[in-house]
Structure 1
Amino acid sequence: MFTKHFEVDPAHIDFQGVVDGLYYPFYMEWTRHAFMKEALGIDIEEEFKQGKMYMVLEYSLRFRKSLKQGDKLEVTCELQKNEKRNRVNFFQQINVNGVTCTDATFVATCFVNGRPSVPEAVAEALAQLG
């Protein structure tokens, strides 16, 4: 499973002393983009220059435990098949000390000439899942 590590940014702490819920998806996005580049070899910025737009279409996020200042985060990312052939799911978790604080599923696609598709590198990785 692909993993990135972060420490909670103090600027993300709200008046209650916990990470504002707005920031959870950012930690996941940074990890998802790194996964695309490091694990799949897809540089989405370079791909955009070639007319390919990678987009999150929807996501569901479940909070289990609040993140606090000083927490060291382990953010994971793994591919999952979507029921539609031109979409892919990214299942992600934020863990602190082995405890899952949140999990989410991001549904994404790549638009090429306005048509949704799954890039070859993603399709190959999905095929390895079985």
Structure 2
Amino acid sequence: MEFSKTYTAKDEHIDFQNIMDGLYYPFYMEYCRHDYIKEVLGFDFEEEAKNGVNMVLSKYTLQFVRSLKKGDEFIVTCNLMVDKSNKSVLHFKQTILLNNKVVTKAVFSGTCVKAGGGRPFLPENLLQKLTGAPEWDGEL
């Protein structure tokens, strides 16, 4: 199931070339991904942190295809995938689209860790929601 949100490129994110600074693309993806994790997966970052469970990124790969400009209204998508070999890792395949054309594509990988340390894991309530999720094929 693809999840998406619409955003507008903020003036303060535009650089001297009149395009959005590359630093901000992952932030918009994060906003969408966090909404997906909370709204669809039911994982509330704040509540879980209070209970000693932190969801963290372990890696991401991002490819720029074209640039956003001041005032552009764009869509950010998020699709969940599971890892073939490591059941404690989630992958979020994301795109930024402008006029139905890919601007940026990325895969963000993450897991959960206890605030006090220990091995990466996924909480049981999260694992239950992963049934039927596609496996990540390693492609952006």
TM range (shorter): over 0.9
Fraction of identical pairs, as percent? 43
* Distance across 1 between alignment mates of 2:123 and 2:98: 32
Residue deviations 1:16-62 (CA, integer Å, cap 9, x gap): 11000000000001111100111111111110010001100110000
Q: CA deviation at 1:129?
A: 2.3
Partner Cα separation in structure 1 for residue 97 and residue 24 of structure 2: 15
Tell me how far apart the structure 2 counterparts of residues 9 and 77 of structure 1 sit (CA, whole Å). Answer: 21
Could you tell me how far 1:128 is from its partner in structure 2?
Answer: 1.6
The equivalent of 2:10 in structure 1 is: 9
Greater fraction of residues in strand: 1
Is 1:70 matched up with 2:71?
Answer: yes
Query: Over the residues paired in the alignment, what is the CA RMSD in angstroms?
Result: 1.3
Segments of 4+ in structure 1 off by > 3 A?
none
- How far apart, in 2, do the equivalents of 1:128 and 1:42 lie? 18
What is the TM-score of this pair, normalised by structure 1?
Answer: 0.94
Residue of structure 2 aligned with 1:96, choices 92, 98, 112: 98
TM-score, structure 2 normalization = 0.87
Find the aligned partners of 1:68 and 1:125 in 2 and give their Cα distance. Answer: 37
Partner of 2:131: 127
Give the whole-Å Cα distance in 2 for the aligned partners of 1:46 and 1:18.
Answer: 37
TM-fit CA distance, 1:70: 1.3
Number of paired residues? 130
Q: Secondary structure, in 3 states, of the residue corresponding to 2:132? A: helix
Deviations along 1:79-115, one digit per CA (max 9) or x if unpaired, are 1112312111011100011011001000100002522
Distance 1:120 1:78, change over 3 A: farther
Q: What is the match of residue 47 of structure 1?
A: 48
Which residue is equivalent to 2:137? none
Counterpart of 2:78, as a letter, is C
Q: Which runs of 5+ in 1 are unaligned?
A: none
One-letter code aligned to 2:82: K
TM superposition shift of 1:124: 2.8
**Which structure 2 segments of 5+ residues have no match?**
135-140
Q: What's the CA shift for 1:121?
A: 4.1
State the one-letter code of the partner of 1:57: S
Letter of the aligned partner of 1:40 in structure 2? L
Deviation at 1:122, TM superposition (A): 3.5
- Aligned residue for 2:120, secondary structure, equals strand
More helix by share: 1
